[in-house]
Structure 1
Amino acid sequence: MLVDLCCGSGAVGAALASQADGHVELHAGDVDPAAVRCARRNVAAYGGHVHHGDLYEPLPAGLRGRVDVLVANVPYVPADEVPLLPPEARLHEPRVALDGGPDGLDVLRRVAAGAPAWLAPGGSLLVETSERQAPRALEAVADCGLAARSVTCEEFDATVITATRRDGDRA
């Protein structure tokens, strides 16, 4: 079971599903109606389901405790830094896709707080953040009871928080 939150165009979920040889149930969600329409087109080839709403709220209740991989492309730019983004981002992306609150971690904290209830035992959460935010993001995810670490790829200038629900973690 794969869930893609803050899915935007659905590209991440579709890319992961494409590697699963049709052996994955894909659910994706976003708050932006235009993103949801686009994601529906992009995940259709994989039998994916796209839901409109805020984070976990629109997901079918039957997915609770069954998600093997939860990816979330959360907005992580601190609110006061959004105007400093390159024009191709700040002028063409909805603010809701960029603005992560005062420290950039508001949505990440909400995703992490809900993750233990949705992840299957051994299931993983993956969330992109900035290298500068990684220590606070790790702390936020660990505070939710998940075993977390950060992984940085210097080639792509990308940092991802990966976290796992252990068998004894709260659900």
Structure 2
Amino acid sequence: MSSLPSLPSPSPLSRPAVVSALRAAGCVFAEEEAELILGTARTPAELAAMVDRRAAGLPLEHVVGWASFHGLRIAVDPGVFVPRRRTEFLVDQALAQAPDATVVVDLCCGSGALGAALADALGPVEVHAADIDPAAVRCARRNLAPYGGRAHVGDLFDALPPALRGRVGILTANVPYVPSAEVPLLPAEARDHEPPVALDGGADGLDVLRRVAAGAAGWLAPGGCLLAETGEHQARAAVQAFADAGLTARAAASEELYAHVVIGVRER
């Protein structure tokens, strides 16, 4: 995006002025973004600073401090992975697969959006989240607090309380799945402002997914399920990785959201 033009005077809070500034900076959805920024900024100075940050390429969710996800307002701190709308499909698949789950774990949790959305939909549940990034875990703790959830720092299952073994009804893992060679091709908002550990999935994009699949069965309750998002071209290999780990595996897709989710069940 180009540098920010000065906001016109004397009405710095006017919607047309903000739309014009965002459009000049290259924001494709300037009108929609202006509404969100205007609804968040509390003072003219804060508004100018927020528009400036957006014009500099900071993701809109980092600018306003939240993202809309599965009907919730999820806090998203700068530097934390922004939950994508397509990932709502994973939540819906989890709810359909295990509507009576009482223990939920959100691995590679980022902001904790998946854990929060599932806890909100399921009602009283025990919910845990984990991420290797301490900044993400701090953010997840805020988003899970209304549900009594806990977030842990560490590498995948190593971060979880051992007492969860064999008890998890829904295990989500929004793993990084971009092949390493394709990370430089991502939009600048993701490439420059989200942690590489949340994006880079190794040579074929499935390194972390395979590690999660290999360890999942020991943590799932009988009938419990593991769900992970993949790219369309990776779905078949991801299903095989789940099956190789002893799970009954299948893929699901949403054309509307262009979302692809692999689901593995520990049979009873």
Q: TM-score, with normalisation over the residues of structure 1?
A: 0.96
Q: Deviations over 1:49-89 (max 9, x none)?
A: 10000000011101000000000110000001000001111
5+ residue gaps, structure 1, are none
5+ residue gaps, structure 2, are 1-102
The alignment status of 1:18 with 2:124, answered yes or no, reads: no
Report the counterpart of residue 48 of structure 1 in structure 2.
Answer: 149
Report the counterpart of residue 38 of structure 1 in structure 2.
Answer: 139
Q: How does 1:19-98 map to 2 (within 5 A)?
A: 19-21=121-123, 23-98=124-199
Q: Distance in 1 between matches of 2:191 and 2:218?
A: 34
Q: Distance in 1 between matches of 2:146 and 2:153?
A: 19
The AA in structure 2 aligned to 1:17 is A
Runs of 4 or more off by more than 6 Å in structure 1? none
- Secondary structure class of the residue paired with 1:100: coil
Q: How does 1:100-119 map to 2 (within 5 A)?
A: 100-119=201-220
Q: Distance in 2 between matches of 1:158 and 1:108?
A: 16
The AA in structure 2 aligned to 1:84 is L
| Residue of structure 2 aligned with 1:6, choices 108, 131, 134 | 108
Q: TM-score, with normalisation over the residues of structure 2?
A: 0.61
Structure with the bigger RCO (C-alpha within 8 Å, sep 6+) is 1
Q: Distance in 1 between matches of 2:143 and 2:239?
A: 31
Indicate the structure with greater helix content. Answer: 2
Report deviation, 1:20: 1.4
